[in-house]
Amino acid sequence: MYLHELTIQQAKKGLEIKDFSSVDLVNAMLDRIEKLDGDIGAYISVDADGARKAALEADQRISNKEHLLLKDECSSNNNKTDRKINALCYPLLGIPVALKDLLCTRGLKTTCASKILENFVPQYDATVVSMLKNAGAVIIGKTNLDEFAMGSSTENSGFHITRNPWNRDYVPGGSSGGSAAAVSAQMCTAALGTDTGGSIRQPASHCGVVGIKPTYGRVSRYGLVSYASSLDQIGPITRDVTDAAIMLNVICGHDPLDSTSANVEVPDFTAALTQFETDSLKGMRAGIPKEFLSLKGLDPDVEQAFNNAKKTLEKLGVEMVEVSLPQTDYAVAAYYVIAPSEASSNLARFDGVRYGLRDTEANDLIDMYKKTKSKGFGAEVQRRIITGTYALSAGYYDAYYGRATKVRAMIRDDFTRAFESCDIIISPVAPTPAFKIGENIDDPLTMYLTDIFTLSTNMAGLPGISVPCGFSSKELPIGLQIMANRFDEMAIIRAGYGLEHTLGIKQKFPDI
Residue 421 lies in a domain: no
Q: Which of 175, 184, 427, 456 is catalytic?
A: 175
Q: Phi, psi (5° rounding) for residue 469?
A: -135, 0
Q: In what order do the strands lie in the sheet with 43-46?
A: 43-46, 138-143, 96-100, 190-195, 233-238, 210-213, 464-471, 477-484, 424-428, 285-289, 319-323
The predicted-structure confidence for 422-476, as pLDDT tens digits, reads as follows 999 999 999 999 999 999 998 988 899 899 999 999 999 999 999 999 999 999 9
Answer yes or no: are the C-beta atoms of 141 and 47 closer than 8 Å: yes
Residue in 21, 114, 157, 199 annotated catalytic = 199
Whether pLDDT at 420 is above 80: yes
Give the DSSP letter string of 169-184: TB---SSSHHHHHHHH
Tell me, yes or no, whether 231 lies in a domain. Answer: yes
Q: Is residue 391 part of a domain?
A: no
Which residues sit opposite 252 in a β-bridge? Answer: 219
Which residue has better confidence, 261 or 360?
A: 261
pLDDT (average), residues 407-432: 98
Bridge partner list, 307? none
**All residues at 6 or more sequence positions from 489 whose CB lies less than 8 Å from its CB, including other chains:** 212, 214, 215, 218, 248, 269, 272, 463
pLDDT tens for residues 27-63? Answer: 999 999 999 999 999 999 999 999 999 999 999 999 9
Q: Is the predicted pLDDT of residue 70 greater than 70, yes or no? A: no
Identify whether 473 is a catalytic site residue: no
pLDDT digits (tens, 9 = 90+) for 178-233: 999 999 999 999 999 999 999 999 999 999 999 999 999 999 999 999 999 999 99
C-alpha 151/C-alpha 111 separation (Å) is 16
Strand pairing class (138-143; 319-323): unpaired
> Which positions ≥6 away from 256 have C-beta within 8 Å?
none
CATH number of the domain enclosing 46: 3.90.1300.10
Say how many domains are in the chain: 1
d(CA 264, CA 254): 7
Q: From residue 153, how far is each of 179, 428, 459 by CA, in Å?
A: 12, 17, 21
Q: Give pLDDT, residue 65.
A: 81
Q: Are β-strands 210-213 and 138-143 bridged in parallel, bridged antiparallel, or unpaired?
A: unpaired
Domain membership flag for residue 336: no
Least Cα distance to 180 among 198, 165, 196 occurs for 165
Among 12, 22, 80, 100, which one carries the catalytic annotation? Answer: 100
Q: What is the DSSP letter of 400?
A: I
**Is residue 71 in a domain?**
yes
**Residue 80 confidence (pLDDT):** 47
Whether the CB-CB separation of 174 and 86 falls below 8 Å is answered with: no
Q: Is 282 a catalytic residue?
A: no
**357 within domain boundaries:** no
Answer yes or no: are the C-beta atoms of 192 and 99 closer than 8 Å: yes
Residue 444, pLDDT score: 87
DSSP-assigned letter for residue 399: I
Residue 3 dihedral angles phi and psi, to the nearest 5°: -60, -35
For 440-508, give the DSSP string.
STT-HHHHHHTTTTTHHHHHHT--EEEEEEEE-TTS-EEEEEEEESTT-HHHHHHHHHHHHHHH-GGG-
Whether pLDDT at 414 is above 80: yes
Residue 437 belongs to some domain of the structure: no
Q: Average pLDDT for residues 392-408, to the nearest whole number?
A: 94
Provide the CA 490 distance to its chain's centre, in angstroms: 17
Torsion angle, CA of 46/235/346/486, rounded to 10 degrees? 180
**Closest residue by Cα to residue 340 from 295, 292, 393, 376:** 393
Q: How confident is the model at residue 85 (pLDDT cuts 50, 70, 90)?
A: very low
- Go through the chain and tell me how many residues it has: 512
Domain span including residue 122: 3-277+463-507
Does 103 score more than 70 pLDDT?
A: yes
Other residues' Cβ atoms within 10 Å of the Cβ of residue 75: 10
List, for residues 281-340, the tens digit of each pLDDT value: 999 999 999 998 888 889 999 999 999 999 999 999 999 999 999 999 999 999 999 999
- Average model confidence (pLDDT) for the chain? 94
Please give the single-letter amino acid code of residue 103. Answer: L
Q: Is 175 a catalytic residue?
A: yes
Residues 150, 220: Cα–Cα separation, whole Å = 20
Q: Which three-class secondary structure state does DSSP give residue 445?
A: helix
Does the pLDDT at position 87 exceed 60?
A: no
Structural domain contains residue 243? yes
Asked if pLDDT for residue 68 goes beyond 80, the answer is no
